[in-house]
């Protein structure tokens, strides 16, 4: 098998059929064999039934992994990579924002250049609001400064990788998956090509600003210990300031006999220090919580069933 296309799907009933048609059209005369691995990430709509129909009526190249519930796109990508058989594996969204023709280009590039292991598409121009742009820039600045892993701005999950790289990614069995980081953490030679995202064919995006923000925080926690370092710095600075203030107060009292006004200062300081302590505890707790969850070694996904074209062979 030359190529696997991994397609995570969550509530994509209006897209998956068009998607498989678009792939079929793009790969009509490509001259190699390929498979599509659809991962139904616990969709609430009719996605699974549509996928089942596609599986039944397809030639021998459709696989469907059906999750027992919604595990998130990161888990769906992991499952797709695990179930894929291709020498090259491409990840592509189900909503046709990313054209299958580009995958063909990626495969060509990989064939021509044996030294490259991964071709990643990034969005050259993005229509987005000023606020989300600001946050995005901040995120990339922070994470690139403090993480040893490199994060390329606007690089997407839309990519084609060689089998060696896929196997490396599959070895990373962490529960909290931040694929932007994982993809670059494993190394390998990656090339970036620009692409323009089309309009969503049907349905709407699952990303809200709140979800994106949480995703960014998760990424920073997964790949840096920056928040912990910040709490050390804050603790250090407040300790230093309070020692200076202590000396000042003692000198005032002993040398000049100035009565230091008390109540307001004490209330403000108690509240401030209490707040800082709680904040640092929270940061620590966030890391501990993540560690606790990881130690449980829960599976990254649970499949209710898998429709495999290999089984179809035997039945018919």
Which residues sit at the interface with ligand UDP, rule CB under 6 A? Answer: 8-10, 12, 41, 70, 72-73, 76, 93-95, 97, 205-207
Integer Cα distance of 180 and 296 in angstroms? 24
Give 54 or 92: the residue with its C-beta nearer to Mg ion.
92
Nearest CA among 150, 288, 133 for reference residue 212: 133
**If contact means CB under 5 to 8 A according to the sort of partner, which of ligand UDP, Mg ion, none does residue 9 touch?**
ligand UDP
Give 27 or 158: the residue with its C-beta nearer to ligand UDP.
158
* The binder of Mg ion chosen from 43, 61, 97, 123 (CB under 5 A): 97
Integer Cα distance of 222 and 178 in angstroms? 7
Residue 239 CB coordination number (10 Å): 11
Integer Cα distance of 80 and 238 in angstroms? 49
55, 157, 299 from 8: Cα distances, Å:
15, 11, 18
> What is the smallest separation between the CB atom of 206 and Mg ion, expressed in angstroms?
8
User: 149 with 223: CB under 8 angstroms?
Assistant: yes
Please tell me whether residue 190 binds Mg ion under the rule CB under 5 A.
no
Stretch that binds Mg ion, among 14-22, 87-95, 284-292, 301-309 (CB under 5 A): 87-95
Integer Cα distance of 72 and 231 in angstroms? 31
User: 93 with 66: CB under 8 angstroms?
Assistant: no
Percent of the chain as helix, strand, coil, to the nearest 5: 50, 15, 30
> What is the smallest separation between the CB atom of 275 and ligand UDP, expressed in angstroms?
35
Give 43 or 149: the residue with its C-beta nearer to ligand UDP.
43
Count of residues near Mg ion by CB under 5 A:
3
**If contact means CB under 5 to 8 A according to the sort of partner, which of Mg ion, ligand UDP, none does residue 94 touch?**
ligand UDP
**List of residues 6+ apart from 237 with CB closer than 8 A:** none
Nearest CA among 182, 161, 179, 158 for reference residue 116: 161
**If contact means CB under 5 to 8 A according to the sort of partner, which of ligand UDP, Mg ion, none does residue 259 touch?**
none
Give 70 or 144: the residue with its C-beta nearer to Mg ion.
70
Assign residue 122 a region (left: φ > 0; alpha: ψ between -120 and 50; beta: otherwise): beta
* Angle at the Cα of 51 from the Cα atoms of 158 and 34, rounded to 5 degrees: 50
**If contact means CB under 5 to 8 A according to the sort of partner, which of ligand UDP, Mg ion, none does residue 206 touch?**
ligand UDP
Give 72 or 227: the residue with its C-beta nearer to Mg ion.
72
Give 83 or 93: the residue with its C-beta nearer to Mg ion.
93
**If contact means CB under 5 to 8 A according to the sort of partner, which of Mg ion, ligand UDP, none does residue 10 touch?**
ligand UDP
> What is the smallest separation between the CB atom of 63 and Mg ion, expressed in angstroms?
22
Integer Cα distance of 141 and 19 in angstroms? 35
> What is the smallest separation between the CB atom of 57 and ligand UDP, expressed in angstroms?
21
Please tell me whether residue 95 binds Mg ion under the rule CB under 5 A.
yes
Give 139 or 227: the residue with its C-beta nearer to ligand UDP.
139
> What is the smallest separation between the CB atom of 92 and ligand UDP, expressed in angstroms?
8
Which structure tokens are listed for 103?
Answer: 């995958």
- Residues that bind Mg ion in the complex, under the rule CB under 5 A: 93, 95, 97
């Amino acid at each position: 098998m030359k190529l696997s296309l991994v397609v995570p799907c969550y509530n994509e009933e209006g897209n998956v059929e068009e998607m498989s048609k678009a792939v079929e059209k793009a790969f009509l005369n490509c001259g190699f064999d390929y498979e599509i691995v659809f991962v139904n990430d616990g969709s609430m709509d009719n996605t699974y039934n549509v996928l089942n129909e596609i599986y039944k009526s397809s030639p021998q190249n459709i696989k469907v992994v059906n999750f027992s519930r919604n595990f998130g796109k990161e888990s769906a990508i992991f499952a797709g990579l695990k179930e894929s058989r291709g020498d090259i594996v491409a990840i592509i969204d189900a909503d046709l924002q990313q054209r299958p023709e580009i995958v063909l280009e990626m495969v060509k590039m990989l064939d021509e250049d044996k030294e490259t292991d991964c071709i990643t598409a990034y969005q050259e121009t993005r229509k987005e609001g000023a606020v989300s742009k600001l946050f995005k820039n901040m995120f990339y600045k922070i994470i690139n400064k403090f993480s040893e892993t490199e994060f390329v701005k606007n690089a997407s999950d839309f990519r084609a990788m060689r089998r060696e790289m896929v196997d490396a990614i599959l070895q990373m069995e962490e529960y909290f998956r931040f694929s932007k980081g994982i993809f670059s953490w494993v190394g390998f030679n990656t090339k970036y090509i620009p692409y323009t995202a089309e309009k969503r064919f049907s349905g709407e995006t699952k990303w809200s600003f709140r979800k994106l923000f949480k995703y960014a925080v998760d990424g920073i926690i997964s790949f840096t210990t920056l928040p912990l370092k910040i709490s050390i710095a804050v603790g250090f600075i407040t300790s230093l300031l309070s020692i200076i203030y202590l000396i000042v107060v003692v000198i005032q009292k002993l040398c000049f006999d100035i009565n230091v006004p008390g109540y307001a200062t004490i209330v403000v300081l108690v509240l401030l220090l209490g707040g800082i302590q709680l904040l640092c505890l929270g940061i620590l707790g966030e890391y501990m919580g993540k560690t606790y969850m990881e130690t449980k070694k829960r599976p990254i996904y649970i499949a209710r069933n898998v429709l495999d074209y290999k089984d179809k062979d035997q039945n018919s």
